[in-house]
Amino acid sequence: MEIVERGDIFFLYRPRVGETDPESLSDVQRFFVVLRPEHATKVRLLVIGRKRLPDAHEHERNWGFVGAIAGSAAALEKGLREETYDTKTRGRQHLPAARPAGEGRYLVTLLNGQLHLSYALELPERPSEVQRDFNIAPQASFALSVKNPEKPSPPGLGLGQAQEPDYPDRLQREFRGRRFAREDIKLLDVQGAEFILVGARTDPEKAYNVELDVEKEDERHSEMLRELKMAKSRHPIEPLFSGEWA
């Protein structure tokens, strides 16, 4: 087994337009995962379909895509702030700011030709309703496969043609004509890259004999607040510490 990447992982959600007091997934517009690799110049914002992680116990699968690539976690935060805009049919609309829902450490490993994304939470110290609703377990692992944009998507899934990734030739060759590639994490370094996560393990440290290097965190030492610049004045941070909806 090879460790190909490690770093900080952040979980966030954005409420629906006009929803200032979300209480469940039905009030959520999108669920995000941010991967901030160590010693890297790119940070990925992943959009997770069905607004929840797949269940590792049940080996569920879920689709997602890379919503943004930035040079730093702080650069992503600007796109996660609240927005107010005018529409012709509904007048002025308010899109609430994203809320942090968890932070921790992650590893990407390569085992028998298959990438696995594993993580362990550092915050909140006691996961509660928000983490349960998004299926953010204390730790889990997922088989990760990246879709070939030159192959059709399953019915009802996939981005429109205008949103699909434009891979340089050297990366497109990694697919070797296959529908999915499972070996190269760099395929996620392109906006619009589509992927499938399949629940694999509930205790990745034991299953893969790896250390996720988690540390005890609090508001003063939170990597999410410091690196992603999730200022309390712009983003309700209660879900990160209490696990309660905000």
Alpha helices, DSSP H, located in the chain: 73-77, 129-133, 169-172, 204-208, 223-227, 238-241
CA contacts within 13 A on the Cβ side of 205:
11
pLDDT digits (tens, 9 = 90+) for 72-123: 999 999 999 999 878 788 778 899 999 999 999 999 999 999 999 999 999 9
**What pLDDT does residue 90 have?**
78
Chain-wide mean pLDDT for the chain? 94
| Mean pLDDT computed over 151-179 | 85
Cα–Cα distance between 32 and 136 in angstroms, integer? 12
Cα–Cα distance between 121 and 11 in angstroms, integer? 10
Helix (H, G, I), strand (E, B) or coil at 110: strand
